[in-house]
C-alpha cells in the first residue's frame, strides 16, 4: 500500500538544503512512500539536481510562493501568507491528496495553521504534539502534548488523553490503552516533606 505525504520543504532553520536530503533518505528506506515536495519550485528543483534526483518518480513538486519563517508571528502565518509552503502542504491533507504532512518549520505557526485549515475533532479545542518513546517493556509510549500548550485547563488535559487513547488504539491495535498524566507543576515557597 502506497502512502503519500506532503513535505513543507521551506520550513526549518535551513529549508531545502536539509529537507530535500531528508526526503530522499526517507524514500530509500520506505519503498511504499510517495512525497509531495512543497515550496519555491525553482529552489526545490535546484536542490534535487544537486542530489541527482530530479527524475525520482516518487517525488512531486508543488509550488508555493511564500515561506513561514521561524520568526513570523502567528497572525502573519495565518492571515498574510496564504500561499506559504506550510499552508499549501497542510491543505494537501485537507483535500485528501496526501495522508499526512511533515514540517520542520515554526511550531506555533504549524499548530495554528493546521488547526485553522484542518480543524479539530469534535470535543477537542487544541491540537497536540505527540512523540513515541521507548519503555521498559520494549513497546512504544505515546506522549502528548509536547510543548504547544503550556497553560492548560483540566478539560484540555482530558482532551489530550482522549486523543492519545484514540491514537494508540489506531496505531498499536490496543483496545484499551493505559493513560497517565505527567504534570509540569509550579514552584511554591513551601517545602513539601514526604
Give the pLDDT confidence of 57-81 residue by residue, as tens digits.
Answer: 999 999 999 999 999 998 999 999 9
In the chain, the number of structural domains is 2
* One domain for residues 77 and 133: no
* One domain for residues 101 and 173: no
Strands (E), 2-70: 3-8, 33-39, 59-63
Residue 179, Cβ neighbours under 10 Å: how many? 13
Give the pLDDT confidence of 86-119 residue by residue, as tens digits.
Answer: 999 999 999 999 999 999 999 889 999 999 999 9
* Residue 52 DSSP code: T
* One domain for residues 26 and 85: yes
Which ranges of the chain would DSSP assign to H, the alpha helix? 16-29, 41-50, 74-75, 85-95, 107-118, 154-172
Does residue 194 fall inside a structural domain? no
* One domain for residues 22 and 79: yes
Q: Which of 119, 146, 172 is the last residue of a domain?
A: 119
Q: Which of 93, 119, 145 is the last residue of a domain?
A: 119
* One domain for residues 159 and 113: no
Give the pLDDT confidence of 7-34 residue by residue, as tens digits.
Answer: 999 998 999 999 999 999 999 999 999 9
Does residue 68 fall inside a structural domain? yes
What is the CATH classification number for the domain harbouring 72? 3.40.718.10
Domain of residue 31 covers 1-119
Amino acid at each position: 500500500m502506497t502512502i503519500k505525504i506532503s513535505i513543507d520543504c521551506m520550513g526549518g532553520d535551513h529549508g531545502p538544503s536539509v529537507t530535500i536530503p531528508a526526503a530522499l533518505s526517507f524514500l530509500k528506506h520506505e519503498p511504499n512512500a510517495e512525497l509531495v515536495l512543497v515550496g519555491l519550485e525553482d529552489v526545490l528543483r535546484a536542490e534535487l539536481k544537486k542530489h541527482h534526483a530530479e527524475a525520482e518518480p516518487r517525488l512531486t513538486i508543488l509550488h508555493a510562493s511564500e515561506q513561514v519563517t521561524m520568526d513570523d508571528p502567528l497572525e502573519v502565518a495565518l492571515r498574510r501568507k496564504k500561499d506559504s509552503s506550510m499552508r499549501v502542504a497542510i491543505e494537501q491533507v485537507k483535500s485528501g491528496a496526501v495522508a499526512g504532512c511533515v514540517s520542520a518549520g515554526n511550531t506555533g505557526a504549524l499548530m495554528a495553521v493546521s488547526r485553522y485549515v484542518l480543524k479539530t475533532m469534535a470535543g477537542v479545542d487544541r491540537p497536540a504534539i505527540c512523540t513515541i518513546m521507548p519503555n521498559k517493556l520494549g513497546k512504544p509510549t505515546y506522549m502528548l502534548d509536547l510543548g504547544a500548550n503550556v497553560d492548560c485547563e483540566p478539560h484540555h488535559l482530558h482532551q489530550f488523553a482522549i486523543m492519545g487513547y484514540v491514537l494508540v488504539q489506531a496505531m498499536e491495535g490496543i483496545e484499551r490503552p493505559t493513560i497517565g498524566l505527567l504534570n509540569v507543576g509550579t514552584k511554591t515557597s513551601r517545602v513539601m516533606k514526604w
